[in-house]
């Protein structure tokens, strides 16, 4: 019994130090490229905006049967076009089935300091269902680049199944984005800005021990594949 408590305490302390270390190194690194200067065609600009939206989306994960009221975490997401994006996350349960989601990211891209913040809510099913589910809506905003600004609304529907003691997440998502351009060349192509949407399929897993969770995910969109991993720590 004492050995089990000692191991649990060790995992908790290790998780806290890992979260702090990763969080404080995010702002001092070169990450995803968010420069539109190499995309001066209508097709190139649309591909760029879609991939940027895809890389900065909130990546919500299904938290079923929460043991804690608050979950904080750090993570990374990327796709083959936009590169890696660091994220700091907070999930706060308002009730047992409803929680608030917040995501914050800040990183260097060339000479720009890029800020991204997301906020939204998620509704989960109760414990008495065979396949737990979650639906969420998240509002995203990106500022910092001199060339453009980007906003999006992300909708997801995810369910959870168990396969050989592993929790598998399967879901669908939609991102509706709106971009404004500040470069004259881009404004000529899209004088009223650009609007569109991304639809994708989501697959993920959840590995948990005590209050620490690790959540890898992969998302499939025509022309884009996004991957992410997030480490969470339950507190309170």
- Neighbouring C-beta atoms of residue 25, cutoff 10 Å: 11
pTM, rounded to two decimals? 0.80
Contacts 24+ apart (CB under 8 A), 18-26: 18/231, 19/72, 19/73, 19/74, 19/231, 19/233, 22/74, 22/86, 22/231, 23/74, 23/88, 26/74, 26/86, 26/88, 26/105, 26/106, 26/107
Q: Look up the domain containing 73 and give its range.
A: 2-235
pLDDT digits (tens, 9 = 90+) for 114-151: 888 899 999 988 767 778 889 999 999 988 778 889 99
Q: Does residue 63 register a pLDDT over 70? A: no
CB 223 within 8 A of CB 205: no
The per-residue pLDDT for 194 is: 94
Choose among 224, 231, 234: nearest CA to 48. Answer: 224
The model's confidence at residue 31, banded by pLDDT at 50, 70 and 90, is low
Structural element, H or E, at residue 19: helix 2-26
The model's confidence at residue 41, banded by pLDDT at 50, 70 and 90, is confident
Choose among 160, 162, 115, 118: nearest CA to 135. Answer: 160
**Mean pLDDT of all residues in 36-56:** 78
Split into its structural domains, the chain has a count of 1
């Amino acid at each position: 019994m004492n050995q089990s408590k000692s191991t649990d305490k060790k995992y908790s302390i290790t998780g806290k130090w890992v979260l702090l270390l990763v969080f404080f190194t995010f702002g001092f690194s070169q990450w995803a490229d968010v420069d539109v200067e190499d995309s001066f065609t209508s097709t190139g600009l649309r591909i760029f905006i879609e991939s940027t939206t895809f890389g900065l989306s909130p990546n919500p994960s299904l938290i079923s049967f929460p043991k804690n009221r608050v979950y904080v975490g750090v993570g990374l997401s990327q796709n083959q076009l936009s590169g890696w994006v660091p994220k700091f996350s907070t999930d706060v349960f308002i009730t047992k089935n409803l929680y608030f989601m917040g995501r914050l990211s800040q990183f260097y891209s060339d000479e720009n300091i890029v800020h991204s913040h997301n906020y939204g809510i998620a509704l989960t099913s109760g414990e008495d269902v065979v396949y737990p589910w979650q639906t969420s809506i998240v509002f995203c905003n990106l500022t910092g680049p001199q060339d453009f600004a980007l906003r999006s609304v992300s909708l997801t529907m995810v369910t959870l199944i168990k396969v050989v003691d592993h929790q598998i997440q399967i879901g669908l998502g939609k991102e509706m984005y709106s971009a404004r351009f500040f470069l004259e060349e881009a404004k000529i192509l899209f004088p009223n800005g650009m609007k569109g949407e991304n639809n994708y399929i989501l697959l993920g897993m959840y590995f948990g021990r005590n209050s620490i969770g690790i959540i890898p995910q992969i998302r499939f969109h025509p022309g884009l594949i996004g991957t992410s991993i997030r480490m969470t720590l339950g507190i309170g």
